[in-house]
Amino acid sequence: MMDILTAEEYWQLREEAIETNGKRLVHHDGFDEIRQGEHELFRDLTHYIELRPGFEMVIGENTYHSDFNYCSPHYDQPYPLISKFHISGSFRTITPGIKEISDDYIEQVGKSYLYYLPDLEEIHQYSTNEHLLVICIFIDIDVFKNFSQGFELLPAPLQALISKNSPPRFHSTVGEITPAMFAILQQILKPPYQGIMKRMYLESKVLELLALQLDQFLHREQAICRVANLRPVDIEKVYHARDILISQVENPPSLFDLADLVGLGARKLRYCFREVFGTTVFGYLHDYRMEQAKIMLAGTKMQVAEVANAVGYSHLGYFAKSFKDKFGISPKEFQFGKKTLK
């Protein structure tokens, strides 16, 4: 392993990059700060945004010019709950000797994460020419509790975070960034307002994003509880298969190709998939396509034929029939608000 920079050394390099070949805009929009710098090891653009006290967002865009390692300490008091969305780029994280979490994992492009990891140190490893665009949301536990009436509906790690004085650490790969999440992320990156309206807009979008992530987390946890008879490795392969279907919705692999991609037999994949998601592989794909079509019809100016193609239907009539069978309304009627969904 190459040399590992301490957090202090990394921070000093970033400060030097700002002073010699960058800029710092404090209170750029009244409640935020932008830091931009260029160093021989990296290019850094970081936007810090305080949505309200104890509720912050950081948008980080970084490119690494060579392999790069640094140690990231987690000793803030109190340590926040962190939600993270990888829009671009991936990196490796090593956390030796911490029993609650994996000691070596990759945070990947297109996925979201939720974690609470106080009192430890992580080693982050970045690769040459890796371009990262990551949105992180930091929520003080006391602030999170203010949102948490009826917290028994939350996933178990978050219930512990609210109810225990010393909650256990956790790090969860929540799942793929869905099209609905991605649309919100793009709105966060390009807000249409300035000043106080921008702050209000961003807070509303961040809360909407968190609601989608927590819902995804809860459904994943419930699925795992339903399939206690399956091996954890097989459950992970089923989620990988689901993620492949979602990422290739326009042209999905066959069942046998999908099984090969995740390292299961086709028969076992069929069985495990139904156990986890309560439906068949392609029943799940059908429902996902319909939900994404509904989002596109409601939130874009795309024509019905364009939406059909985007979700993998080459025959417009078959798409329209599938949509009406699912929702009791034609795509065009839904798009123009002539009827409500059943």
Does residue 32 contact residue 202 with C-beta atoms inside 8 Å?
no
Q: E strand or H helix at 319, and its extent? A: helix 316-327
Question: Which positions of the chain have pLDDT values less than 50?
Answer: none
In a domain, 2, yes or no: no
Domain extent for 117:
7-226
DSSP 5: B
pLDDT at residue number 299: 64
pLDDT at residue number 230: 81
DSSP 250: T
Q: E strand or H helix at 46, and its extent? A: strand 42-52
| Whole-model pTM over 0.85 | no
Cα–Cα distance for residue pair 205/53, rounded to 1 Å: 17
Dig out the tokens for 272 from the structure: 């495990």
How many structural domains comprise the chain? 3
* 251 in the same domain as 221: no
Cα–Cα distance for residue pair 72/120, rounded to 1 Å: 9
Cα–Cα distance for residue pair 87/181, rounded to 1 Å: 11
Radius of gyration of the chain (CA): 22
**81 C-beta neighbours (distance < 10 Å), count:** 22
In a domain, 76, yes or no: yes
Cα–Cα distance for residue pair 243/250, rounded to 1 Å: 13
* 302 in the same domain as 248: no
In a domain, 91, yes or no: yes
* CATH code assigned at 216: 2.60.120.10
% of the chain residues with pLDDT over 70: 95
Closest CA relative to residue 83, chosen from 39, 130, 43, 51 = 51
In a domain, 1, yes or no: no
Cα–Cα distance for residue pair 189/59, rounded to 1 Å: 8
Distance of CA 200 to the CA centre of its chain: 22
pLDDT at residue number 165: 80
Q: E strand or H helix at 33, and its extent? A: strand 32-38
Distance of CA 309 to the CA centre of its chain: 25
In a domain, 318, yes or no: yes
Dig out the tokens for 9 from the structure: 């050394």
Cα–Cα distance for residue pair 11/20, rounded to 1 Å: 14
pLDDT at residue number 339: 54
* CATH code assigned at 239: 1.10.10
Which residue's structure tokens are 């390292």? Answer: 263
* 94 in the same domain as 168: yes
* 157 in the same domain as 172: yes
The model's pLDDT over 34-83, given as tens digits with 9 standing for 90+, comes to: 999 998 989 999 999 999 999 999 999 999 999 989 999 888 777 899 99
Dig out the tokens for 293 from the structure: 């079509």
3-state secondary structure (DSSP) of residue 24: strand
In a domain, 97, yes or no: yes
* 159 in the same domain as 94: yes
pLDDT at residue number 188: 95
Question: On the CB side of 340, how many CA atoms lie within 13 Å of its CA?
Answer: 1
